Amino acid sequence: MLDQKLLRTELAAVQANLGRRGFPFDAPAYRALEERRKALQVRVEEARNARNVQSKSIGKARAAGEDIQPLLDAVRSLGDELQSAEDEFEGVQTGLRDVQLSLPNLLHESVPAGTTEADNVEIRTWGEPAELGFEPQDHVALGVGLGQLDFDAAALITGARFTVMRGPLARLHRAIIQFMLNLHTEQHGYTEIYAPYLVNARSLEGTGQLPKFGADLFAIAGDQDFYLIPTAEVPVTNLVRDSIIAADQLPLKFVAHTPCFRSEAGSHGKDTRGMIRQHQFEKVELVQIVRPEDSYATLEELTGHAEIVLQMLGLPYRVTALCAGDTGFGAAKTYDIEVWLPGQGRYREISSCSNCESFQARRMSARWRNPATGKPELVHTLNGSGVAAGRALIAIMENYQTADGGIRVPDVLLPYMHGMERIGG
RNA sequence: GGAGAGGUGGCAGAGUGGUCGAAUGCGGCGGUCUUGAAAACCGUUGACCCGCAAGGGUCCGGGGGUUCGAAUCCCUCCCUCUCCGCCA
């Protein structure tokens, strides 16, 4: 959600900024609605004040033993007037809020111009795609060949876009998760969080998935209004909802491993092969709650924490700055990290690190007490994958494959694999 | 699942339908005293909205109702706690 003051005072600038995303914002209509709100609010408050004053005088008169009947008659009609003004005011308020909740975040000035993925800007690369010396297989061929990746079984149990893993491959997947959690908690100072996988609508509104992107979510059947989390960002960021955080508590650094559930509505036909795009996948998520002045330094730091995972796993990657049109709804600026997949012969997203500035904080009413002003002020929130476990598994399979269809285990994962150095082959 | 109790300011905890945004205590902040600190004493201390300001308005878990007027009465939902049952 954007600052209402900004929407009142800098409407043209807001419109221009949102325009960079290609977001059509009807500023004149918004201004008209806002002006109506203001007029109505004044009217309601004046009516309420008149009623309060009158009612108070009734109390005093009665305490003094006077006849209050004339006063009662005089006040009665004020209540009716107030009621109708309130109803109208409420309608306008709701309309305004609907618009506000549907506006994406303002972009940081450093976000490159552009409309699609193709306009994203490469910031840096790390590692060199390995020379395998043979024709690389993709993770599907490798996993199915080993008998450890089973899409048919998943289709039988559930349906399309699910995976069954067996044996050492399932263990490798778990090892990746353990490795990442240990790294972030022991080396990077994050506090491990275990959080619910089902959340309520308010949490999803807080982080920005609702009200606009309900189609991307799985809602559970039954009388409870719960949704499966599309990312740990939702429960973990909402830890600070409706709270005022002491200055010395910041920054808050949280890491959580959770499954993620996405309906992938609108992506029919995309990445249908393999486990690149699933309805259910595991992810280790980094979340930081910081002072506003620190958030851009934190974005660099947090992105670095995700990069170290890939460096330690020996996976070549590149970092890109998302362009204006490709930056997500709640983000002011986003870096994507893309890992090299020999089987596809290209880089694929494995992490997305965003600074949401005060966008989520405002929706969540998440604040800190600024010692400089003594007042509660909005925090900045950041999140990033550190990293997606399913895609990390794919990257390891394809980058560490051997000519005989086996997979070597990266050195840093050996302790988690009980010394198993290779799978298959 | 059954029975009961309760949700009030940073925390604890009062509050007869009118003078209650709310007693009191703790905590916080400022001051007096002190070489400094503690103690004691004095003062001060919620959030949000409109407004340049003066000022006005809203908020006692959420929503609805009764009333001229609701923290207080009624309905409903949510949450917490206790006991029983069940379970990992």
Tell me the pairing of strands A164-165 and A149-150. Answer: antiparallel
Nucleotide nearest to A73 (CA to C1'): B68
**More reliable by pLDDT, A250 or A399:** A399
Tell me the pairing of strands A366-369 and A243-245. Answer: parallel
> Is the per-residue pLDDT at A74 higher than 80?
no
**Any idea which of A43-47, A274-278, A312-316 has the lowest mean pLDDT?**
A43-47
pLDDT digit string, tens, across residues A355-379: 999 999 999 989 888 887 778 889 9
Nucleotide nearest to A4 (CA to C1'): B49
From A31, A51, A277, A291, the catalytic residue:
A277
To the nearest 10 degrees (0 to 180), the angle between helices A389-399 and A167-186 is 120
Closest CA to A400 of A167, A236, A392: A392
pLDDT at A65: 72
Average pLDDT over residues A52-75: 78
pLDDT at A115: 96
pLDDT at A72: 79
From A295, A351, A352, A354, the catalytic residue:
A352
In angstroms, the CA A187 to CA A194 distance is 19
Query: Active-site residue A391, yes or no?
Result: yes
Query: Active-site residue A84, yes or no?
Result: no
Q: What element of type H or E holds A381?
A: strand A380-388
Average pLDDT over residues A48-61: 83
Nucleotide nearest to A76 (CA to C1'): B68
In angstroms, the CA A45 to CA A83 distance is 11
From A241, A349, A377, A408, the catalytic residue:
A349
| Protein-strand B interface by C-beta, 7 A | A 4-5, 8, 38, 41-42, 44-46, 48-49, 51-56, 58-60, 62-63, 68, 72, 75-76, 78-79, 244, 375-376
pLDDT at A244: 86
* ipTM greater than cut 0.90: no
State whether the Cα torsion A175-A178-A181-A182 is positive or negative. negative
Exposure of A26 by Cβ count < 10 A (0-12 exposed, 13-18 middle, 19+ buried)?
Answer: exposed
Kindly report which amino acid residue has its CA closest to the C1' atom of nucleotide B49: A41
Query: Active-site residue A241, yes or no?
Result: no
Protein footprint on strand B: which nucleotides are under 7 Å from a CB?
10, 18-19, 47-51, 56-58, 68-69
Residue A19 pLDDT level (bands cut at 50, 70, 90): very high
Query: Active-site residue A349, yes or no?
Result: yes
Tell me the pairing of strands A149-150 and A366-369. Answer: unpaired
Partnered with residue A244 across adjacent β-strands are A367
Kindly report which amino acid residue has its CA closest to the C1' atom of nucleotide B29: A374
pLDDT at A262: 96
> Is the per-residue pLDDT at A12 higher than 80?
yes
Closest CA to A356 of A256, A257, A209: A209
In angstroms, the CA A340 to CA A310 distance is 10
Residue A236 pLDDT level (bands cut at 50, 70, 90): very high
Residue A81 pLDDT level (bands cut at 50, 70, 90): confident
> Is the per-residue pLDDT at A64 higher than 80?
no
Q: Which amino acid is located at A2 in the chain?
A: L
Q: Which two tokens stand for residue A128?
A: 């060199």
Q: Which two tokens stand for residue A112?
A: 């490159």
Span CA (A243) to C1' (B80), Å: 18
Q: Which amino acid is located at A263 in the chain?
A: S
Q: Give every CB contact of residue A398 below 8 A, 6+ residues apart in sequence.
A: A136, A137, A138, A139, A142, A341, A342, A343, A344
pLDDT at A380: 94
> Is the per-residue pLDDT at A69 higher than 80?
no
pLDDT at A388: 96
Residue A137 pLDDT level (bands cut at 50, 70, 90): very high
Q: The whole model's pTM is what?
A: 0.93
Partnered with residue A118 across adjacent β-strands are none
pLDDT digit string, tens, across residues A268-301: 888 989 999 999 999 999 999 999 999 999 999 9
Residue A66 pLDDT level (bands cut at 50, 70, 90): confident
Average pLDDT over residues A390-394: 97
- End-to-end, the C-alpha distance of chain A in Å comes to 53
pLDDT at A61: 78
In angstroms, the CA A386 to CA A404 distance is 31
Nucleotide nearest to A376 (CA to C1'): B47
Q: Rounded to 5 degrees, what angle do the CA atoms A175, A417, A282 make?
A: 15
Average pLDDT over residues A15-43: 92
pLDDT at A67: 74
CB-facing half-sphere around the CA of A381: CA atoms within 13 A: 31
pLDDT at A5: 87
Kindly report which amino acid residue has its CA closest to the C1' atom of nucleotide B45: A374
Q: Which two tokens stand for residue A285?
A: 């998520």
From A262, A348, A362, A367, the catalytic residue:
A262
**More reliable by pLDDT, A187 or A221:** A187
pLDDT digit string, tens, across residues A193-231: 999 999 999 999 999 999 899 999 999 887 788 999 999
Mapped onto helix, strand or coil, the DSSP state of residue A100 is helix
